[in-house]
Amino acid sequence: MKLVELNLKEFAETLGSDAPAPGGGSASALAATQGVALTEMVMNLTIGKKKYAEYEDELKGIHEKAVQLREDLLVAIDKDTEAFNDVSAVFSMPKSTDEEKAERKQAMSNALKGAAKTPLEMMSLAVDALEITHQAVGKSNTNAASDLGVAALNLNAGLKGAYLNVLINLPGIKDDAFVSENRQKAEDYLAKGEELAEKIYTAIVNDLK
């Protein structure tokens, strides 16, 4: 059964069990999903209200993007665990001969590439979600301003958690060009996302004081 098909209690129990997956990657995807879902909620609480009519078209665009990002991040919850399981499967490969050892080493490198790509994709989605959340600041329902701030916090947690999952997989990959390129992508996503999250949170706090 897919993780997204579990109820909250079942997911939490599975996460807290001694099974190595799901772990931090899937939890990060869930955090980011919650974040963009909150942005979607704020749009639903704003669109159609006369007070925000001047932003109607823009807010509808944000809502549409938020719905798609929520769906993509939900997929990432299971995708991260599947990538980890691919890595774990390599450990059962034979390693009696030099040829088997070489095949196992290459298989591990390939599996780790997949395990690094998944959280990197998650980081990209989180940044996209932070961008639309930032776009909504000052243009959405003020009664739900705190929800937009919580959205930023959840998205930032998902972003940073995914970053850790990129970093932990890179050392075992025997492809220097891949490692260098994807490490840089992760650093860029992190810097951009953290800046956006801070801007959103600071703006919301200042408005609420």
Summarised one tens digit per residue, pLDDT across range 14-38 is 999 998 889 999 999 999 999 999 9
What would the two tokens of residue 34 be?
């919650």
pLDDT greater than 80 at residue 77 = yes
Query: Which pLDDT score is estimated for 163?
Result: 98
Query: Which pLDDT score is estimated for 50?
Result: 96
Query: CB of 195 within 8 A of CB of 127?
Result: no
pTM of the full structure? 0.92
**Lookup result for tokens 């159609």:** 48
Query: CB of 127 within 8 A of CB of 159?
Result: yes
Query: CB of 189 within 8 A of CB of 120?
Result: yes
Least Cα distance to 120 among 66, 80, 63 occurs for: 80
What would the two tokens of residue 36 be?
């963009």
What would the two tokens of residue 56 be?
């109607």
pLDDT greater than 90 at residue 110 = no
Query: CB of 96 within 8 A of CB of 80?
Result: no
Report the mean per-residue pLDDT for the chain: 94
